Structure 1
Amino acid sequence: MVLNNFEEYDDPILYDKENEQFMPELPFLLKWASYTQGTIIDLACGTGRLTIPMAKNGYKLIGVDIHVGMIKEARKKAAHFDLPIEWVEQDCTTLKLTTKSNFIYSVGNSFQHFLTNQSQDDFFSSVHKHLEKGGVFIFGTRFPSVEELLQPSTEEYWRTYTDSDTLYNVDLYTISFYDSLNQIQQYTTIRKYKNSEGQIVDEKRTNISLRYVFPKEMERMVQDNGLEIVDVYQDWNETPATNDSYELIYVCKKI
């Protein structure tokens, strides 16, 4: 994982404000968890957005992330509950856990943070090494559709939410540029904080780079690393993938 690609995660509190309430993956992950036994591994777990709810449903988990601030916040949140979670600060491309698992997952499009062919292969190699034979690996990534890649390079409105501390409305905008040669999208997220009169009182910008992988490219990469794709969906409701998909959900097994 590229070490200077963490700006979006330097503020774990802000990350949770904007993302913690969204858990579309949870029912799907719980379904697969019910088929397996033993410890489940959550790779690039962040602040435990899915790790903690999974553990609350009675499963034992290991949450792994390279970002010390995210892991620290995850531990803090989990401390309020008596949950069977082990938090590990490690790079997912050089994973060295003492546990193997029948079920590993990585959500939140975390796979797109691996920007080079080598880092992608190293990530899959780590997964393969820590999966039991026949074990399941589930991950998602944005679908590189024309609409997704050719977003405007000017400010584009995304959504609005209310900051829970200040009660300011926060308007989110994005600026993007796609580097076709490297298949990397450069994103800038702009947050405009507005008071009750609608005046902008603060503005924050963060940058992130995300790698896009085309389906046939992914198929070959997965197979080259000792896994096979069992199913591909366009969402966590198991809708079949189409050319109009926004993301792709891969269900893989260790051969």
Structure 2
Amino acid sequence: MIINNFEEYDDPTLYDKENETYLPELPFLLKWASTTQGTIIDLACGTGRLTIPLAQNGCELIGVDIHEGMLSEAKQKTVNLDLPIKWLKQDCTKLKLMAKSSLIYSVGNSFQHFLTNASQDGFLSSVNNHLEIGGTFIFNTRFPSVEELLQPSTEEYWRTYTDRDTLHTVDLYTISHYDALSQLQHYTTIRKYKNNDGQILDEKSTKISLRYVFPKEMERMLLNNGFEIVDVFQDWKETAVTNESYELIYVCKKST
């Protein structure tokens, strides 16, 4: 059993350097927020990647995460912004928010961090308990395609970005291993920091494990936890799902 799966998030500043400007979900969430009254709940909010821009667009939010460092970074980023956000440190499988909402979301494929059947059910049950009858729950997860699951277990190039502080180039590589019995993909992410001449100055690696869920399995899980699936898309532009999809975006309604 994996006890600590937070290594990828133990450097919140690095997380923001690599992810803060990536906001494909924002227009989709803003569309749903525009028809929602009251507080919106962002689960596994991290450093507020979506919480903050939604609040800047006039939404009132509760941002919830279990990782103290990520939440501290989120609070620091908003300390002087006077935004309608309440940050809470809680386990999303055992939520006690003293509030209900008509719109709850969890993005960034955070659903894959719940590695066991019990934690998945605990998370969905917690969401249901904090959602108004007829309320909407939106979340995404990577599509368990053959290409996704059977990635080579050798070091593979992923992407490159420029460090905003040092202006050094950072090449990202991954090594993955899929355990079919547990439906867990075990990832190692390797970061190679280069100067302007292409020389490697430093190298760091982090590990994370992610749970994959097949579509029919997800249907049954959501139904058993009191949700009706309204739509499933393969991207935040609402494109229909195909066998070549990379991710699944679920729009669900609380039915019971």
Common topology (TM > 0.5): yes
SS of structure 2 residue aligned to 1:203: strand
Distance 1:173 1:139 in 2: 26
- Which residue of 2 is the match for residue 78 of structure 1? 78
- Pairwise mapping of residues 126-145 of structure 1 onto structure 2 (< 5 A)? 126-145=126-145
Tell me by how many angstroms 1:2 deviates: 6.1
- Which residue of 2 is the match for residue 207 of structure 1? 207
**Superposed CA offset, 1:168-198 (max 9, x none):** 1000000000000000000000000001111
- Pairwise mapping of residues 81-230 of structure 1 onto structure 2 (< 5 A)? 81-230=81-230
SS of structure 2 residue aligned to 1:35: coil
SS of structure 1 residue aligned to 2:93: helix
In percent, how many aligned pairs have the same letter?
Answer: 77
Provide the alpha-carbon RMSD of the alignment. Answer: 1.0
- Which residue of 2 is the match for residue 62 of structure 1? 62
- Which residue of 1 is the match for residue 21 of structure 2? 21
Tell me by how many angstroms 1:3 deviates: 4.7
Distance 1:204 1:80 in 2: 33
SS of structure 1 residue aligned to 2:209: strand
- Which residue of 2 is the match for residue 232 of structure 1? 232
**Superposed CA offset, 1:113-148 (max 9, x none):** 000000000000000000000000000000000000
Distance 1:217 1:132 in 2: 25
Tell me by how many angstroms 1:69 deviates: 0.1
- Which residue of 1 is the match for residue 5 of structure 2? 5
**Superposed CA offset, 1:77-132 (max 9, x none):** 01131100000000000000011000000000000000000000000000000000
- Which residue of 2 is the match for residue 47 of structure 1? 47
Tell me by how many angstroms 1:214 deviates: 0.1
Q: Quickly say closer, same or farther: Cα 1:39–1:123, change in 2 above 3 A.
A: same
Distance 2:35 2:107 in 1: 19
Tell me by how many angstroms 1:166 deviates: 1.3
Letter in 2 for 1:232: V
Under a length normalisation based on structure 1, what TM-score does the superposition of the two structures give? 0.99
Aligned 8 A contact 1:2 1:114 in 2: no
Q: Which runs of 5+ in 2 are unaligned?
A: none
Distance 1:128 1:194 in 2: 46
Aligned 8 A contact 1:184 1:209 in 2: yes
Tell me by how many angstroms 1:165 deviates: 1.2
Matched pairs, number: 255
**Superposed CA offset, 1:185-212 (max 9, x none):** 0000000000111110100000000000
Aligned 8 A contact 1:2 1:113 in 2: no
Distance 1:54 1:129 in 2: 23
Distance 1:186 1:2 in 2: 11
Distance 1:40 1:50 in 2: 12
**Superposed CA offset, 1:194-233 (max 9, x none):** 0111110100000000000000000000000001100000
Tell me by how many angstroms 1:153 deviates: 0.4
Aligned 8 A contact 1:65 1:89 in 2: yes
Letter in 2 for 1:69: G
Letter in 2 for 1:178: Y
